Amino acid sequence: MQANLAVSRIGAVSRIAFDRPEKKNALCAAMYLAAIAALQAAAADEGQRVVLFSGAGGVFTAGNDLADFLGFDPSAGDEFPALRFVETLAAFPKPVVAAVAGDAVGVGTTMLFLCDLVYASPSARFKMPFVDLGLPPEAGVSLLAPRRFGPAKAAEFLMLGEGFGAEEAARLGLVNRVVAEEELDAVALAAAQKLAQKPARALLETRRLLRGDPAEVLDRIALEARLFAEALSGAEAQARFAAFLQKGRS
């Protein structure tokens, strides 16, 4: 356990669990850095064949810790660990599985577009409220959501910021299967272990063919990040964040 992130090995599966239940697993800079380190270690270790993401306490993640954003200063050359995390995940060369229960907000939803298999419990709730915070989307989702959902549904979820549940996520192809809460961890782990037992070269080549050129997604992530940083330092986003944080204290 480090930085509210629990990293463990189960055979050839590396499990990365967000573990900050008092904040609904909201991701702070230290958690992002620890997750990046875990992904880099898994990429470099031939014995780690698959990564499995999950969240502790019946919640995947409430998204970014907004308090981190209020201190962000792009003019000083600050770089978001969140950006490095999604770049690392987008370029990660091995299969990634996710087990999602409860809230999956912001990056908690967008990172799933960069995973290979996603399993969700009926309690899972997905939301990408970037526009409501005065921000554009991130993690390449402006490219990936229209491809996965179609333009109309992508606009609904990214422009209106509407939330959606597990069954809708499965219907739209973000989630592979909805399973009972008590079975979620076991089902996701079984899928990860099954992937880990496949012939390695054939599996990785199939994954590369399915995903296409990663440069396209990374280029979109970079464009989104530039617009995100510009918006984040603006008065509109700062006011939205301050109002959100004040509401949380009241």
| Gap between the Cα atoms of 48 and 30, Å rounded | 23
Q: How confident is the model at residue 234 (pLDDT cuts 50, 70, 90)?
A: confident
Task: Please check whether residue 170 lies inside any domain of the structure.
Answer: yes
Interval 139-172: pLDDT, tens:
999 999 999 999 999 999 999 999 999 999 999 9
CATH of the domain at 147: 3.90.226.10
Is pLDDT at 133 greater than 90 in this prediction? no
pLDDT at 229: 84
pLDDT at 67: 75
Task: Please check whether residue 188 lies inside any domain of the structure.
Answer: no
* Cα–Cα nearest to 48, from 193, 211, 185: 193
Average pLDDT estimate for 78-101 = 93
pLDDT at 68: 72
Dump strand ranges (E) for the chain. Answer: 5-10, 13-18, 50-55, 96-100, 103-105, 117-120, 125-127, 164-165, 177-178
pLDDT at 238: 72
127 phi/psi in degrees, rounded to 5: -160, 135
DSSP symbols for 55-113:
ESTT--B--B-HHHHHT--GGGT---HHHHHHHHHHH--S-EEEEE-SEEETHHHHGGG
Is pLDDT at 241 greater than 80 in this prediction? no
pLDDT at 172: 97
CB atoms within 10 A of CB 61: 28
pLDDT at 246: 66
* Cα–Cα nearest to 136, from 26, 225, 217, 240: 225
pLDDT at 248: 55
Give the pTM.
0.93
pLDDT at 11: 96
The more confident residue out of 236 and 125 is: 125
Task: Please check whether residue 168 lies inside any domain of the structure.
Answer: yes
Task: Please check whether residue 216 lies inside any domain of the structure.
Answer: no
Task: Please check whether residue 37 lies inside any domain of the structure.
Answer: yes
The more confident residue out of 238 and 55 is: 55
Q: Count up the domains in the chain and report the number.
A: 1
Task: Please check whether residue 250 lies inside any domain of the structure.
Answer: no
Name the DSSP letter for residue 166: H
Average pLDDT estimate for 210-234 = 91
Interval 31-84: pLDDT, tens:
999 999 999 999 999 999 999 999 999 999 999 987 776 666 655 555 788 999
Interval 169-183: pLDDT, tens:
999 999 999 999 999
Quote the mean pLDDT of the chain: 92
Residue 61: give the domain boundaries: 5-183
Task: Please check whether residue 148 lies inside any domain of the structure.
Answer: yes
pLDDT at 124: 98
| Gap between the Cα atoms of 216 and 138, Å rounded | 14
Is pLDDT at 193 greater than 90 in this prediction? yes
Task: Please check whether residue 210 lies inside any domain of the structure.
Answer: no
pLDDT at 243: 72
Q: How confident is the model at residue 1 (pLDDT cuts 50, 70, 90)?
A: low
